[in-house]
Amino acid sequence: MITIAIDGHAGAGKSTAARALARALGLVYLDTGAMYRMMGLKALRQGADPGDEAAVLPMLESTRIEVAAEGGEQRFLLDGEDVSSAIRTAECGMAASAVSAIPAVREKLVALQQQIARGANVVMDGRDIGTVVLPNAKYKFFVTASPAVRAQRRYQELVEKGLPAKPVKELEAEIEKRDYDDTHRAHSPLRQAEDAEYIDTTGMSAQEVIDHMLRRVQEGEAGHDQTV
């Protein structure tokens, strides 16, 4: 069985690499960050502070989070509504970071992620995949890049998708705050797993990152076949 865990900072290229790896290797891909964005979006829609545990917990039990595949792409359903585009705003990203610090939210979503991974060959990307969700993943990568580069990438992504985009400097400030929040939360903070390969993508193209990971996995699988 092949399990691939890709962790790292916001905007470092985790999801792009994970989707491409899954496609190239014929594996199931799960964007776990989107699941936290859905919880963040629900809190925002209900006028609640995504970081306020007392406000978020009452809505947790009744919230339905589903991931569906359609035409090779993932669709994210929040209480039956397709929110695949709605969750991609910078505001939703900040809300996801806040809501993910609530232990009960993480417990619910980690259990769902592990359920999806059980018995399947998967690629997952997020912030605690190699350390919490899939600690025994066969391949682990930790991806990062400078905040300035990640902000520029985020800006381009939003523009290309036709979504509202703040100035790059504002996005960079938000990314730096999110980095701090993600790495300093008490429950399952973002950190590199001891057995994960560190990849700084600052000076790399998306394709170079994908090719590097794919090569690592193919080499690992080739070595496994030779020992069987």
What's the mean pLDDT in 13-39? 92
What's the mean pLDDT in 123-145? 95
Band (pLDDT 50/70/90 cuts) for residue 39 is very high
Q: What share of the chain is helix, strand, coil (3-state, %, to 5)?
A: 55, 15, 30
What's the mean pLDDT in 56-80? 86
At 228 the pLDDT is 45
Signed CA dihedral, 69, 16, 188, 221: sign only: positive
At 224 the pLDDT is 66
Average pLDDT over the chain, rounded to an integer:
91
- Is the domain spanning 3-216 CATH 3.40.50.300? The answer is yes
What's the mean pLDDT in 87-113? 91
Question: How much is the pTM?
Answer: 0.82
How many other C-beta atoms lie within 10 A of the C-beta of residue 61?
A: 8
Domains of the chain: which residue ranges? 3-216
By the 8 A CB rule, do 35 and 109 touch?
A: yes
By the 8 A CB rule, do 53 and 182 touch?
A: no
